[in-house]
C-alpha cells in the first residue's frame, strides 16, 4: 500500500483548516487566551494572516494541522497581550457641554407643575388623598398603610386606584381649562 505523498497530506490539512468550524475554534481559543471580545476578530485576522504566510513551511508529518494553528493562535495572542501592556490611549481635551442645570424658565415651569400637582392632590377626597400620599409620595408599603389605618388591604388598593383616576381627571380638567384660556386670549 502506497503512503500518501506530502502534497496530499498538505491538501487534506488545508481542507481541514480553512473551514468555518475552525474559524469559530480560533475565536474560542482567543477567548480562552484572554483576548477581549472587542479585539477578538482583529486578532483572529492576524492569526489567519500568519497561518497563510507560514503555510508553505507547514509539514504535516510534524503534527496535526489543528495543533499547528493553535500554536500560531497562542503566539499571536501572547504578542497581543504584550502590545496591550505598552498601549497608551491619548485622551482628547474636554468638550464644553451645555450646563445640565435647568435654566430659569425650565425651573419656573417645573415649580409650576409641582405646585399644580400638589393643588390637585389637595382637591382629592381625604380618604383617597391619605392612601395616595402615604403610599406613592411617602413610600410606605400598602400593608403598613392598611395596618396603620385599620383597614383591609384590598380596600386601600381600591381607594388608591380611585385616587389615581380622580387625580388624572383633575389634572386633565386643569390642562383643558388652561388650553381654552390660552386659545381664548389670542
* Pair (121, 81) in one structural domain: no
Residue bearing the bigger pLDDT, 102 or 183 = 183
Q: What percent of the chain has pLDDT over 70?
A: 88
Taking the alpha carbons of 144, 147, 150, 155 in that order, is the dihedral positive or negative?
Answer: positive
- Distance, CA of 185 to chain centre: 48
In a domain, 18, yes or no: yes
* Cβ atoms within 10 Å, residue 30: 25
Distance CA 50, CA 69 (A): 9
* Pair (20, 56) in one structural domain: yes
Domain that holds residue 66: 6-86
* Pair (10, 72) in one structural domain: yes
In a domain, 42, yes or no: yes
* Pair (71, 15) in one structural domain: yes
pLDDT at 99: 66
Give residue-wise pLDDT tens across range 132-168: 899 988 889 999 999 999 999 999 999 999 999 998 9
In a domain, 22, yes or no: yes
Taking the alpha carbons of 105, 109, 110, 111 in that order, is the dihedral positive or negative?
Answer: positive
Q: Considering its fold, how many domains does the chain have in total?
A: 2
pLDDT at 57: 83
* Pair (115, 174) in one structural domain: yes
Matching residue, cell 403610599? 135
The CATH code of the domain that includes 161 is 1.10.10.10
Residue bearing the bigger pLDDT, 186 or 12 = 12
Q: Which three cell numbers stand for residue 31?
A: 477567548
**Residue range 13-31: mean pLDDT, rounded:** 83
CB 174 within 8 A of CB 123: no
Among the candidates 70, 86, 102, a domain finishes at 86
Distance CA 137, CA 86 (A): 54
For the chain, how long is the longest CA-to-CA vector?
A: 105
* Pair (40, 82) in one structural domain: yes
CB 41 within 8 A of CB 24: no
Amino acid at each position: 500500500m502506497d503512503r500518501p505523498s506530502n502534497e496530499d497530506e498538505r491538501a487534506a490539512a488545508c481542507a481541514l483548516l480553512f473551514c468555518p468550524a475552525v474559524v469559530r475554534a480560533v475565536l474560542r481559543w482567543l477567548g480562552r487566551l484572554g483576548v477581549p471580545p472587542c479585539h477578538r476578530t482583529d486578532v483572529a485576522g492576524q492569526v489567519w494572516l500568519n497561518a497563510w504566510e507560514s503555510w508553505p513551511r507547514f509539514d504535516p508529518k510534524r503534527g496535526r494541522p489543528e495543533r499547528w494553528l493553535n500554536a500560531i493562535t497562542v503566539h499571536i495572542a501572547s504578542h497581543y497581550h504584550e502590545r496591550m501592556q505598552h498601549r497608551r490611549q491619548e485622551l482628547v481635551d474636554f468638550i464644553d457641554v451645555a450646563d445640565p442645570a435647568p435654566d430659569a424658565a425650565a425651573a419656573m415651569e417645573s415649580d409650576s407643575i409641582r405646585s399644580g400637582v400638589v393643588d390637585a392632590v389637595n382637591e382629592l377626597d381625604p380618604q383617597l388623598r391619605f392612601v395616595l400620599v402615604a403610599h406613592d409620595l411617602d413610600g410606605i408599603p400598602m400593608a403598613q398603610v392598611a395596618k396603620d389605618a385599620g383597614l383591609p388591604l384590598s380596600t386601600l388598593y381600591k381607594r388608591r386606584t380611585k385616587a389615581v383616576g380622580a387625580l388624572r381627571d383633575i389634572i386633565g380638567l386643569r390642562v383643558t381649562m388652561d388650553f381654552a384660556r390660552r386659545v381664548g386670549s389670542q
